[in-house]
Structure 1
Amino acid sequence: MIILFLQITFYTILVSGSSLSDKVKQTPAHMYNKPEEQVNINCSHSIQNYDRILWYKQVNKQLQFLGYFLGYVNYEDGKPEPGVNVTMEGSASKDQICTLIIKEVDLNSSAVYFCAASREKPYTEPAYFGQGTKLTVLETGRTPTSPTVKVLPPSKKECRNQKDTNQRKKTLVCVASGFYPDHVSVEWKVGGEKITKGVATDNAALRNQTTYSITSRLRVPAEEWFNPNNEFTCIVKFYNGNHNEPFYGKIQGEKGMFISEGDGMTREKYLKATQRLKLSYGVFIAKSCVYGAFVVFLVWKLQGKHNK
């Protein structure tokens, strides 16, 4: 029996990305609960002849097998693993609901729970994951706290020495902080349109004493940043206990001129160069005025001598 479970688990991990995984549904996607409360997680599938639901708990990317629920004609039964403190009820048949029940949760119950649909026989049939349910058991006295979102502009020094204009990039950084617990997702929009290219978001939120923070980076061509008409928006979706609530951080593109010649000149260098030219021009005008005044003085003196 142990070998059977290992084989099923292997197939579950192997094919979880298949399109048939779309036929396995889990609800809800997020849950907050207080200690000692009961938690119910539902799973259903629409795969013909599949009659087994497997349940897993994922902590720190490690899967723990919780047990399975088997259902076919005149037989429905749950088989939890020893010591896991869960039960299962419902049905594993197509278009039916199988429920994982955790009667009294504690802080160690916080995890992502997965169901997977499989087939009792033959054992070689693959299994397919659901989308997962993230459960957080709230610490004593804690309530969900929303994030603060801020978008930081690119560094002035970034891409300064990059001579290939096609490779010049600017990196914006979105920082979401002060939230609890860590049920968040991050996305970017440029000019109101969602963008995924050039986006790199932390794999998980970082715990800072009592709250969490997460960062996301967006790399864009420098000419996009040096366009004041472009608005860069970071959207952090936070599960508030009822639904995913969006929080926004925004920043406008910088006013200025993007130099596209292949001489490695950046906007900063361009501004310095123009300032030097203005200063030189001012000195030239001042010298010209002094020289002109001197010439006028000489002419006046010569005319005075001639009249005498």
Structure 2
Amino acid sequence: MVTMIRLLTIFSVPLFWITGVSLSQEVNQTPSTLLGKPEEKIQLSCSHNIPSYNIILWYQRSVGDTALKLIGYVYYENPTVESLYQGIFDVSGDGAKEAYLHLLKLRQPEDDGQYFCAASYTSCDSGREAYFGGGTRLTVLDPDISDKAIQPNVTVLTPSIHECKDAKDNKNKKTLVCVATGFYPDHVSVSWKINGENVFDGVGTDNSAVWNNETKYSITSRLRVPAGVWYTDSNEFNCTVLFFNGTEYIPFEASVMGDKAPSTGGMTTENYVKSTQTAKLAYIVFIAKSSLYGFFVVVFVWKLQGKSGKHFT
């Protein structure tokens, strides 16, 4: 039995460990993302080239959890699986080189989540630490939804005409919205380009896709640009949604062109229509007033003639 002096401190690992100093380019974990079906058997791999490190550990982070749970580890060529996971997972390989995590029979949704490997060692030397691989995201497809991936529908919505109307002031911003809907599962990432160049400033994307019982998953991303950039009709704004179909990431794209800057002088079509309608209304009012005035004149003359006729008789 291995004396797990150092490992006792990493049986339950907070999430921030794997997003900070504990990540290492010397630890390679594959695959990075994976789709599986219930009852299917899959395998994850982890390798490292760190001298004197002789243990590879495997952790699970279930959906909604913030900590990693130890599944098992391989010390040199000696495998150990925690009692809670025996019969569900298995481990094998050589902790000094490469080890494997075997999911013996996928369950849905129990096995959904992220899996991480870590290279460590059996020593009391506190100056060294475990190093984690990049992780594997696993989704076990729900047979009640679909037995295969469903691709997204992508649309780019143009900015509202009521948002920051001054096209000359580039301190004002216009917001484009990219919407991806109807996909399953939620293995997606969103990026923006302007005229073929990647854009990162002004981009805000939902932290995760949102589930809707009717439309599967959806996700939105927003791009805020200076008003002058939007009001350049030669500019092309592109949104790309990378979707994992079970084998590879496939891009799905949508684009819109910039708008013409609103005119600040001269006669636009909108102004012309408004002015024409105003002129027609003014003409109608003028005719009505003239007719009414003419009617009063006729009545007045008629009354005047009547009075004159009585006077001469």
Deviations 1:123-164 (A, max 9, x none): 52222221111111111151210000000011112124x899
Which structure 2 residue ranges, 5 or more long, are not aligned? Answer: 280-313
Secondary structure of 2:91's partner? strand
Are 2:32 and 2:135, in contact at CA under 8 Å, matched by a contact in 1?
Answer: yes
Relative distance call for 1:3 and 1:115 in structure 2 (3 A) is closer
* Alpha-carbon separation, structure 2, partners of 1:198 and 1:89: 46
Distance 1:24 1:45 in 2: 4
Q: Specify every segment of 5 or more residues in structure 1 that has no aligned partner in the other structure, as ranges.
A: 258-266, 284-308
CA RMSD of aligned residues (A): 3.3
Alignment of 1:221 with 2:223, yes or no, is no
Q: 2:119 aligns with which of 117, 120, 124?
A: 117
Separation (CA, whole Å) in 1 of partners of 2:25 and 2:266: 54
Preserved contact between residue 113 and residue 134 of structure 1 (Cα < 8 Å): yes
Q: Please say if 1:5 is aligned against 2:8.
A: yes
Residues 246-265 of structure 1 show CA distances to partners (whole Å, capped at 9, x for unaligned) of 000111111225xxxxxxxx
Q: 1:271 and 1:148, CA in 2 relative to 1: closer, same or farther beyond 3 A?
A: farther
Q: Is 1:39 equivalent to 2:42 in the alignment?
A: yes
2:79 corresponds in structure 1 to: 78
SS at match of 1:21: coil
In 1, the alpha carbon distance for the partners of 2:91 and 2:239 equals 40
Paired residues of 2:22 and 2:132 also in contact (CA < 8 A): no
Q: How many angstroms apart in 2 are the aligned matches of 1:224 and 1:101?
A: 52
Could you say what secondary structure the match of 1:5 adopts? helix
Give the AA of the match of 1:227. Answer: T
Q: Percent identity?
A: 41
Structure 1 stretch displaced more, 83-92 or 239-248: 83-92
- 1:168 CA displacement: 0.7
The alpha-carbon distance between structure 1 residues 174 and 268, as it changes in their structure 2 partners (threshold 3 A), is: farther
- Check whether the contact 2:211–2:218 (CA below 8 A) recurs between aligned residues: yes
Q: Name 2:189's counterpart in structure 1.
A: 185
Give the equivalent residue in structure 2 for 1:131.
134
Query: 1:26, 1:43 within 8 Å by CA — same for their partners in 2?
Result: yes
SS at match of 2:24: helix
Which of 45, 63, 68 lines up with 1:64 in the alignment?
A: 68
Conservation of the 8 A alpha-carbon contact between 1:11 and 1:126: no
Equivalent residues in 2 for 1:206-217 (5 A)?
A: 206-209=210-213, 211-217=216-222
> 1:275: which partner in 2?
271
Structure 1 residues 122 and 215: CA distance shift in structure 2, 3 A: same
Partner of 1:201: 205
Q: C-alpha separation between the residues in 2 aligned to 1:233 and 1:8?
A: 44
Does the 8 Å contact 2:204/2:222 carry over to 1? Answer: yes
1:52 matched to 2:48? The reply is no
Matched residue, 2:158: 153
Aligned residues: 269
